[in-house]
Amino acid sequence: MTVYQRLLHIQQTKQTRLCVGLDPLPGRLPKGVHRNVAYFLLEIFDATLPYSCAYKFNLAFFERMGSTGLHTLEHLLRTIYEVTASEDHRPILIADVKRSDVPHTAATYASAYLDFFPFDAVTVNPLLGSDSIQPFLRFSNSLVFLLAVTSNPGASDFLLAPCGDRPLFERIVEKTATLASHERIGYVVGATYPEIFRSLRSAYPSHFFLVPGIGAQGGDMAQLREANQNRPALFSVSRSILYASLSIDFAEAARRQAERFQQESW
């Protein structure tokens, strides 16, 4: 089964399009976790697993801790593989790295995040063109999410700006969609641009869209679900779940938030 098929299967079984984003801030850990990032994230993982189909690891927050951060990531992935012995039960694990580089180096990033770290999917910045994306597609069982429109206001500088007869992001999607089938490539579309999500959704009905920016960044799940029309999508929520409580009840608070977002997502 491809990652695309596994993701559809998990979503159907659990009736959820919720993806939980893991952005651990060492200075913002709840009481009772003794500054242990791995313990914190595994508690969040356990509490939210019934409601989510995917986890998005934001690498910045691990790199910020240097080798200790990547060691924590190695421990987390090993533990998740152990506790979800069968692939059918393991949620899709996404390396949110937004990497971009020339082919030789892009191949090295692909090895890092689709092999050394055994992620199922990876986010990639498409600015450097087709030959910078292809190394990520060479890992045959992976899903590559290319940035189309990001959730920040600055997206208007280039991605949303007119580039000839249409905005740059439309050119990027049109060009890159020819590189591989919809089972291999998906797109990141920020939740803060629901009308763009709606129009890309109808133009590309079979591609997975990864939609970050829900909750803390202002995106509205109900509006997105309606626009999505039950097509392949991942609605990603990070801070609203991770930091639902900074007290010792953080896992239960995360569970309640995940349950609410799961219901809104389906």
Q: Contact residues for a copy of itself (CB under 8 A)?
A: 23, 58, 60-61, 63-71, 73-74, 98-103, 105-106, 108-109, 111-113, 116-117, 125-133, 147, 150-159, 161-164, 168, 171-172, 175, 190, 213, 217
Q: How far is the CB of 136 from a copy of itself (least distance, A)?
A: 12
Active site residue 98: yes
Q: How far is the CB of 66 from a copy of itself (least distance, A)?
A: 5
Is the CB of residue 260 less than 8 Å from the CB of residue 45?
A: no
Q: Which residues contact 41 (CB under 8 A, 6 or more apart)?
A: 22, 24, 72, 76
Cβ neighbours, 10 Å, residue 58: 21
Tell me the residue type at 227.
A
Nearer to a copy of itself among residue 67 and residue 140 (C-beta): 67
Considering 14, 56, 98, 175, which one is annotated as catalytic? 98
Is the CB of residue 213 less than 8 Å from the CB of residue 192?
A: yes
Write the burial class of residue 90 (CB in 10 Å: 0-12 exposed, 13-18 middle, 19+ buried). Answer: middle
Q: How far is the CB of 122 from a copy of itself (least distance, A)?
A: 12
H-only helix segments in 32-126:
37-48, 60-63, 66-83, 103-111
Q: How far is the CB of 44 from a copy of itself (least distance, A)?
A: 18
For residues 181 and 110, give the distance between their C-alpha atoms in angstroms, rounded to a whole number.
Answer: 18
Q: Cite the active site residues.
A: 98
